Amino acid sequence: MYDVLVIGGGPSGLMASVSAAQHGAKVLLIDKGDKLGRKLAISGGGRCNVTNRMERKTLIEHIPGNGKFMHSPFSVFDNEDIISFFESLGIALKEEDHGRMFPITDKAKTVVEALLNKVRTLGVEIRTNTTVKDISFENGSVKEVLLNNNKSIPTKKIIIATGGKSVPHTGSTGDAYPWAKKAGHTITELYPTEVPITSNEPFIKEKLLQGLSLRAIKLSVINPKGKTIISHEGDLLFTHFGISGPAALRCSQFVVKALKKFKTNQVEMSIDLFPHQHKEELFQDILHIVKENPKKSFRNGIKAYLPDRILDYMFTRLSFEPSIAANQVPHEQIRNLISCFKDFTFTVNGTLSIEKAFVTGGGVSVKEVEPKSMHSRKQNGLYFCGEVLDIHGYTGGYNITCAFSTGYSAGKAAAESLNNH
């Protein structure tokens, strides 16, 4: 009989297995896929962003989905512990922009292999290509796991680490939600987060800006009353269906929530192309260019400001004659153009599907899970970790940090509770 059975071999399941075994439990790790760590292998663009070295307060601010819950798991195993853990496995890490931590090799494979070696060294039994059909309980406690081939595995503790519904080709297909419901848990509504945003605007439909990327802009989601819900700075990419890139991914969940909250089928977004310059500053800069080259066409004078395609689109949008000589352009028109630079608005109507999202919003309600041990408040011996829970962060190492932290906490608590019986 196994002390602890971990379902799911992603980041949280692997870490839960390591932690439970380190704390003395006999562990079985099962995964329905043919190899473990698939999501780890593609994280951080295949380089594996293992965590983020921000101080805890900032870290939690980057976890918009129930980040406060993470105070307890972080008190057990936080981002600095994650860094020490990987370094103890012989993986040298380096810090990049915004605190993101990567292996020096720039290969996710390094991280996955080291983690799998650790799991094996600790004597964890691994079974791949093993699908769990159901979990059974007896007298409010975990009893066994039933497999698809109708075999059952009795166990004292079960840690569910099956992920959400995003990136399904890695095996996250929402398998655990019915089991959690059966155990008496609430599953909060699932929705895509960190996902590209869709738009029906004519300029998107006509692909006028498709493939154009903008650097270091500020993107905002505006509610129907004209108030800004959220703003994020970062890079942006126009696509054939809408917008993508880091700034769009970070705003995506707020688009989903606004459409729902205001019962509307579209919401407004705004791009500030020069987030660190005031309108007046830009106006004076452009006037200076006009004075330097009064006879040159206005468009040629200011073409260094923005990529050609977006500049041309703005001229068209404002019915602006670009070939006109710079000194012939009324100040009023220059100010209109600058307003467009600072507040380029367009409507969006949703996002790509949850399967296309990087992260799943919603999941097992955190109100029903003890935050320090990740133990179910509904069934004895049942634990949850990782993305199956209603916890989600922005991309940039925050989700994986939550996965490792909740996984470690669950494994430790499950193993330690064996000794208390």
Distance CA 244, CA 240 (A): 10
Neighbours of 41 (CB within 10 A): 17
Question: Residue 156 CA to chain centroid, in angstroms?
Answer: 33
Q: Could you read off the pLDDT of 172-221 as tens digits, one per residue?
A: 999 999 999 999 999 999 999 999 999 999 999 999 999 999 999 999 99
Residue with tokens 């499950």: 414
Residue with tokens 């050609």: 308
Q: Could you read off the pLDDT of 266-317 as tens digits, one per residue?
A: 999 999 999 999 999 999 999 999 999 899 999 999 998 899 999 999 999 9
Average pLDDT for residues 328-349, to the nearest whole number?
96
pLDDT classification of 45: cutoffs 50, 70, 90: confident
Per-residue pLDDT, 267: 98
Average pLDDT for residues 7-28, to the nearest whole number?
98
Res. 375: pLDDT tops 80: yes
243, β-bridge pairs: 197, 238
Domain 197-274+347-351 has CATH 2.40.30: yes
- Residues in contact with 263: Cβ distance below 8 Å, sequence separation at least 6, in sequence order: none
Per-residue pLDDT, 44: 86
Domain 279-344 has CATH 1.10.3470: no
Q: Where are the domains of the chain?
A: 2-190+358-419, 197-274+347-351, 279-344
Neighbours of 151 (CB within 10 A): 11
Per-residue pLDDT, 203: 96
Q: Could you read off the pLDDT of 137-172 as tens digits, one per residue?
A: 999 999 999 999 999 999 999 999 999 999 888 899
3-state secondary structure the chain: CEEEEEECCCHHHHHHHHHHHHCCCCEEEECCCCCCCHHHHHHHHHCCCCEECCCHHHHHHCCCECHHHHHHHHHHCCHHHHHHHHHHCCCCEEECHHHEEEECCCCHHHHHHHHHHHHHHCCCEEECCCCEEEEEEECCEEEEEEECCCCEEEEEEEEECCCCCCCHHHCCCCCHHHHHHHCCCCEEEEEEECCCEECCCHHHHCCCCCCCEEEEEEEEEECCCCCEEEEEEEEEEECCCEEECHHHHHHHHHHHHHHHHCCCCCEEEEEECCCCCCHHHHHHHHHHHHHHCCCCEHHHHHCCCCCHHHHHHHHHHCCCCCCCEHHHCCHHHHHHHHHHHHCEEEEECEECCHHHCCEEEEEECHHHECCCCCEECCCECEEECHHHECCECCCCCHHHHHHHHHHHHHHHHHHHHHHCC
Distance CA 210, CA 242 (A): 8
CATH architecture of 2-190+358-419: 3-Layer(bba) Sandwich (3.50)
Per-residue pLDDT, 151: 96
- Residues in contact with 303: Cβ distance below 8 Å, sequence separation at least 6, in sequence order: 311
Average pLDDT for residues 94-118, to the nearest whole number?
95
pLDDT classification of 421: cutoffs 50, 70, 90: low
The mean pLDDT value of the chain amounts to 96
Phi/psi region, residue 171 (left: phi>0; alpha: psi -120 to 50; beta: rest), is left
Per-residue pLDDT, 291: 92
Q: Are 131 and 148 in contact (CB under 8 A)?
A: yes
Per-residue pLDDT, 420: 73
pLDDT classification of 322: cutoffs 50, 70, 90: confident
Structure tokens at 135: 């979990």
- Residues in contact with 311: Cβ distance below 8 Å, sequence separation at least 6, in sequence order: 299, 302, 303, 305
Per-residue pLDDT, 231: 98
- Residues in contact with 248: Cβ distance below 8 Å, sequence separation at least 6, in sequence order: 196, 197, 219, 236, 237, 242
Average pLDDT for residues 51-55, to the nearest whole number?
96
Q: Could you read off the pLDDT of 58-79 as tens digits, one per residue?
A: 999 999 999 999 999 999 999 9
Of the candidates 344, 346, 232, 338, which has an alpha carbon nearest to the alpha carbon of residue 278?
Answer: 338
Q: Could you read off the pLDDT of 227-279 as tens digits, one per residue?
A: 999 999 999 999 999 999 999 999 999 999 999 999 999 999 999 999 999 99
Average pLDDT for residues 340-361, to the nearest whole number?
96
- Give me the amino acid identity at 179: W
